[in-house]
Structure 1
Amino acid sequence: MTTITQDPNWWKTASIYQIYPKSFCDSGDKGTGDIQGIISKLDYLQRLGIDAIWLTPVYQSPMIDNGYDISDYYAINPDFGTMADFDQLLEEAHQRGIRLIMDIVVNHTSTEHQWFQSALGDKNSPYRDYYIWRDPVEGEAPNNWLSKFGGSAWALDDATGQYYLHLFAKEQADLNWENPQVREEVKQVIRFWAEKGVDGFRLDVINLISKAQDFSDDHQGDGRRFYTDGPRVHEFLQEISQAVFQQYDSVTVGEMSSTTLEHCQQYSSLDGKELSMVFNFHHLKVDYPNGEKWTKAPFDFLQLKQIFNHWQTGLNGKGWGALFWCNHDQPRIVSRLGNDKQYRVESAKMLAASIHMMQGTPYIYQGEEFAMTNPGYTSIEQYRDVESTNMYDIMVHQQGVKHDEMMAILAQKSRDNSRTPMQWNRERYAGFSKAQPWLDIADNYQEINAEQAEQNYDSVFYFYQQLIQLRKQIEVITTGDYLDLYPDHDAVFGYQRRSQQQTLICLNNYYAQETECVLPSDFEASQASYVLGNYQDLPQQVSRHQVLRPYETRIIVLQN
């Protein structure tokens, strides 16, 4: 039996695995994943070597937004199982030395939550002030803010004639954090799960909880500047952290929407007053030309390097970041920035190395460890994601975008690209379920699956296993500073990490053509050695002049 260590800073050398339960593993024939399915794969995750699981929401929910619309914070969604199943998962994970991080959504609740149901149609309800209500302005919505899922951010309650705020779907009503009672409810919820032994929390869009209270029109944008990193957000987080997170030594990761480095330095400050670490998404907008997500576009390679440099140097010694390419809201990285056909394995390994050697805590999204790809859906009926279907309706039926063009955009940008069921083996439905899955499986599952990856020692799976181990063995990955070696190189992303004891250089060719670079003049190449690469025939000696093959990565370490 493996036990959980008591080190409060365990997360600084850890690698965390994200599970999207609906698509991970179905223990029966429902066509949707469940908690018992996760339990059945814990040995697989232990072999991979991860330290913790981040579990996306399994609470009671009508599933308008795949569980991010919680209707009861204290109950498990029957689609996923029972509270007894959850307790078993927690115990069995801990027995294998795997911690559990729960996803918690406290910017908003489902409109089916009993608080909102009580508030609806009754201005005198004690729960009315749990949400954000405003009178109409000249018969219209209170302001011009837009929902992140399209359309107005306000919905009308016919019975009272007032509007409530929803920054996401209309079924996701924003909580009023100005109300101290709401903050007490949030503390109670977190305490409940911490008392069970949950090791930490991932806080969904947590930097949106504080809104500017004048709710004025935004004449420059969609309203986000009035609620992103809002006026009281740090005060609110410090209150929750002191009352709950610090009492239970909970590791916390905040999902930060459209945030800034300066705010994230404070959110993840090393004094631990707010959160352990932060997710930011700026590096995943390099294929959004002029900030526009819903267009098919190549990625801006130089911008990608600039963003990594900005965040790595900016957080070093001040805060802590989460490192990731994929999650349940992002397309598969090997399809997005790699080459998911001819160089799928090479580019998947390169992309993994280029992010795992940075400072921060890496997150691996289910299937990323054997390079699952976008599914390449050909019919709009195959999509289930509310954001994707909404945008299809808006762009095709209102804006006149051609169907084929929109299908190409969805094939690149839809959140469903990452939500296709986990490809476990070559059996029917990829071993995910005994029944037709809720979302179509990618056609390539017979060649790309976990079983095949574990049988091949040159697979992406074992490369991830090595990256996870290196983080524990090479201290400079955790402690070193960061220097972008080739900011203007049009093909190589190469950076240096340096501490008092060690220097590490990670070289990555992001393209299918061979390219060259030269190591820094002060780097003692003769004293250095290769510790990992994605081609088997690495040179015996490290030379300053490096020739990198298509999508090649090389990790070089020198003892100072």
Structure 2
Amino acid sequence: MTVQHPWWKESTVYQIWPASYKDSKGDGVGDIPGIISTLDHIKSLGVDVIWLSPMYDSPQDDMGYDISDYENVYPKYGTVDDMQKLIDETHARGMKLILDLVINHTSTEHKWFKESKSSKTNPKRDWYIWKPARYDADGNRQPPTNWGSYFSGSTWTYDETTDEYYLHLFAESQPDLNWENEETRNAIYKSALTFWYEKGVDGFRIDTAGMYSKVQSYPDAPIEFPDSPYQPCKMFHQSGPRIHEFHKEMFEKVTSKYDAMTVGEVGHSTREDALKYVSAKEKEMNMMFLFDVVEVGSNPSDRFRYEGFTLSDFKKAFESQGSFIEGTDAWSTVFTENHDQPRSITRFGNDSSEFRVISGKALALLQSTLTGTGFIYQGQEIGMVNLPREWSIDEYQDINTVNYVREFKQKYGNDADYNKKFEKLMDSINLVARDHARSPVQWDDSANGGFTSGTPWTRVHDNYKEINVKSQTNDPNSLLSFWKKALKFRKEYKDLFIHGLFRILDVGNKETFSFLKVNGDQSAFITINFSDKPQKFVNHTEKKLEYIYGNVDNYNEDELAPYEARAYLTK
């Protein structure tokens, strides 16, 4: 008997970052009409759901993750009417649309925060997190704790109006909402969720989904980086004391009323805690994003303190990111790129002209054979790569990178070996900065890659004449065509690829990645050469193999070509 699964389990989701996607007006910024004009391209991929990153009204300090009005659209992107048209046109093509739900914080420009900071007696004072200063032995005013922001510096900003500090885990223009206040939570549910559900959106990607509940004693964080006055404080805000209570309430009061998809950005979690978030019986979220894969090799407390990884680390990251659902009613996600991560070919494949396409196809085959709901990021389907190493730091615009570099210069600018230290930092920035995902999509080989007829808000990659949608659309050997093939096979063999158990067969091998996908008495064998040298083909199963597809047409039975990937059924 065929098992009926919720629609979101077997979907492939395509993420759009609106500023860099497609500009319809020529002002250099992507917009909603531009998205609508490309819906047929997205549909042709074999995609089922579009995830639209924040399009809400915002000062854009953090590219829309600083929201000033949940119920309005950033004017450069369009209007609420444009959003309604996008919802309707997406549905007309048989696809669904989910939005970003950013409810850990707002912008300082949000009317709620303006009221909150106006006085200590304002009714909305307690809608955000305010604390008095501390004073050191010399009487100097200090922040309430030593917590370090994800965007450098302190998590606390002093406000002269009321002589107190407000908490912001991210930029100082992103004050954290106080989820301890029930009135605040109900306002969030009404303005950020119900407003858009009623317009027809099909769910939400939930930003920083583990951060709403803070440890209410607000203690100092232990010293992890002695060279910094501010320390990682995740232990006091990640999966905090009331986080599951809050998610259950949000589901019960709002999401349960709709046939919705919810995916929470949790990042890192134990198996036990992950199941609290996404076990179906818990009624919190459908699935979650874990960062085991995309952050492999980076220090989780500081992405630019890059340490490197082995292929074994890469394999184990996929295992830990998905294996927690085995034997449970939980669900997982599969992704190697998003708006906060570098390009996967540069990070995990080989972005040289010789191996860029074939390693991109290897990653597409890998991703499309793994368990969970699949996510593709704009430009991934054509093999966009990281920004060139020779570009100046001045081309980087993300607040995370900009703040980090400014603090780095303040700390080490007078050192004799500063240039050497800075070049090492630039190597890390060139590999893992968020900026790489934010260069404009390359649509054709015209000026600015066809992204805009004007001046782009951020520089288009130099390789747009070589890598673009138009040149790949009718080329059967292109990476774009291969992604379409991979997604087709993903659905055709969904019992194995989407729902099957994942079993690594060569965890210690430094060149190849071989694994089984198992569902009942069915299994598939996948093997991928992750090196630039030929490798011996090894059938790690004791069964006969029936070839499904791969990224090399005339393959050698006994040898895997550089970055060759194959999928077989076992017999």
Q: TM-score, normalised by structure 2?
A: 0.92
Does residue 1:488 correspond to 2:513, yes or no?
A: no
User: How far 1:44 moved relative to its partner?
Assistant: 0.7
Following TM superposition, by how much is the alpha carbon of 1:93 offset from its aligned partner in structure 2, in angstroms? 0.6
Paired residue secondary structure (1:256): strand
Residue number in structure 1 paired with 2:294 = 284
- Where does residue 437 of structure 1 map in the other structure? 456
User: Which stretch of the first structure deviates more once superposed, 332-341 or 252-261?
Assistant: 252-261
Q: Decide whether the 8 Å contact of 2:293 with 2:321 is kept in 1.
A: no
Match of 2:56 among 40, 56, 59: 59
**Structure 1 residues 263-412: aligned runs within 5 Å:** 263-271=273-281, 273-288=283-298, 292-295=302-305, 298-318=308-328, 319-341=330-352, 342-376=354-388, 378-400=391-413, 401-402=418-419, 403-412=422-431
Distance 2:8 2:521 in 1: 21
Contact 1:286 1:301 survives alignment (8 Å): no
- CA offsets, 1:505-548, max 9 Å, x none? 111111111123532343x21xx311110111136xxx7xx522
Amino acid at match of 2:8: W
Q: Distance in 2 between matches of 1:15 and 1:467?
A: 11
Deviation string, structure 1 residues 14-45 (Cα, Å, up to 9, x no partner): 11000000000000210000000000000111
Take 1:50 and 1:415, find their aligned partners in 2: how far apart are those partners?
24
- 1:549 & 1:397 partners in 2: Cα distance? 48
Cα distance in 2 for residues equivalent to 1:167 and 1:328? 19
- Residue of structure 1 equivalent to 2:36: 39
Query: Per-residue CA shift, 1:128-157, capped at 9, x if unaligned?
Result: 111011111223111111100001100111
The 8 Å contact of residues 276 and 282 in structure 2, kept in 1 or not, is answered as no
Of the structure 1 ranges 169-178 and 550-559, higher mean CA displacement relative to structure 2 is found in: 550-559
| Greater mean deviation of Cα atoms: 123-132 or 467-476 | 467-476
Deviation string, structure 1 residues 215-266 (Cα, Å, up to 9, x no partner):
0011244211011111111111011011111110210000013333322222
- Residue identity opposite 1:217 in structure 2: D
The one of 198, 203, 207 aligned to 1:200: 203
Structure 1 stretch displaced more, 126-135 or 308-317: 308-317
Number of equivalences: 545
Match of 1:3 in 2: none
User: Residues 81 and 8 (structure 1 numbering): CA distance in 2 closer, same or farther, change over 3 Å?
Assistant: farther
8 Å CA contact retained: 1:286, 1:300: no
Partner residue in 1 for 2:227: none
> Partners of 1:290 and 1:234 in 2: how far apart?
23
- Which residue type is aligned with residue 283 of structure 2? K
1:113-128 equivalent positions in 2, closer than 5 A: 113-128=110-125
* Contact 1:111 1:173 survives alignment (8 Å): yes
The 5 A counterparts of 1:27-176 are: 27-138=24-135, 139-176=141-178
Residues 290/58 of structure 1: CA separation in 2 closer, same or farther (3 Å cut): closer
Instruction: Quote the Cα distance in structure 2 between the aligned partners of 1:418 and 1:198.
Output: 25
- Code of the residue aligned with 1:176 in structure 2: it is N
Corresponding residue for residue 212 of structure 1? 215
Say which is worse superposed, 442-451 or 188-197, in terms of deviation: 188-197
The whole-number CA distance in structure 2 between the counterparts of 1:262 and 1:443 is: 46
The aligned amino acid for 1:534 is: N
Q: Does 1:553 align with 2:565?
A: yes
SS at match of 2:486: helix
Letter in 1 for 2:385: T
Of 315-324 and 150-159, the range deviating more from structure 2: 315-324
Change (3 A) 1:11 1:76: same
Q: Distance in 1 between matches of 2:299 and 2:255?
A: 39
Paired residues of 1:36 and 1:81 also in contact (CA < 8 A): yes
Letter in 2 for 1:43: D
1:186-265 alignment, distance < 5 Å: 186-188=188-190, 189-221=192-224, 222-265=232-275
Aligned equivalents of 1:27 and 1:179: distance in 2? 42
In structure 2, the residue corresponding to 1:228 is in which secondary structure? coil
Correspondence for 2:17: 20
**2:299 touches 2:306 (CA, 8 Å); kept in 1?**
no
- 1-side partners of 2:350 and 2:5: how far apart? 39
Give the Å deviation of 1:287. 2.4
Match of 1:511 among 531, 535, 550: 531
Which deviations, in whole Å up to 9, do the C-alpha atoms of 1:375-427 show, x marking residues without a partner? 21521221111111111111233234424333333221221111000000000
- SS state at 2:548 partner: strand
The amino acid of 1:244's aligned partner reads V
For residue 463 of structure 1, report the CA deviation from its aligned partner.
Answer: 1.3
1:282 to partner: Cα distance: 1.8
Partner SS state of residue 120, structure 1: helix
Rounded to whole Å, the distance in 1 between the matches of 2:161 and 2:335 is: 45
The separation in 2 between residues aligned to 1:262 and 1:296, in whole angstroms, is: 28
1:177 aligned to 2:179?
yes
The residue type equivalent to 1:344 in the other structure is: R
Question: Is the 8 Å Cα contact of residues 492 and 517 (structure 1) preserved in structure 2?
Answer: no
Aligned to 1:530: 547
Q: How far apart, CA to CA, are the structure 2 residues paired with 1:357 and 1:529?
A: 16
Distance 1:173 1:93 in 2: 33
Gaps of 5+ in 1: 1-6
2:138 corresponds to:
none
Tell me the distance in 2 between the aligned counterparts of 1:228 and 1:207. 5
Range that drifts further, 110-119 or 508-517: 508-517
For residues 203 and 276 of structure 1, the distance between their equivalents in structure 2, rounded to whole angstroms, comes to 11
- Deviates further, 121-130 or 396-405: 396-405
1:432 positional shift: 0.4
Letter in 1 for 2:564: E
Deviates more, 1:74-83 or 1:474-483: 474-483
SS of residue matched to 1:102: strand
Task: Measure, in 2, the Cα distance between the counterparts of 1:39 and 1:272.
Answer: 36
CA contact (8 A) 1:131 1:174 kept: yes
Secondary structure, aligned partner of 2:423:
helix
Structure 2 unmatched ranges of 5 or more = 136-140, 225-231
Which amino acid is the alignment partner of residue 187 of structure 2? Answer: E
Residues 383 and 416 in structure 1, CA contact (< 8 A), matched pair in contact too: yes
The answer as to 2:489 corresponding to 1:459 is no
TM-superposed CA distance for 1:285, in Å, is 2.1
Q: CA deviation at 1:501?
A: 4.7
TM-score normalised by the chain length of structure 1 = 0.94
SS at match of 2:161: coil
Q: Tell me, yes or no, if the aligned pair for 2:322 and 2:333 is still in contact at 8 Å.
A: no
Percent identity over the alignment is 37
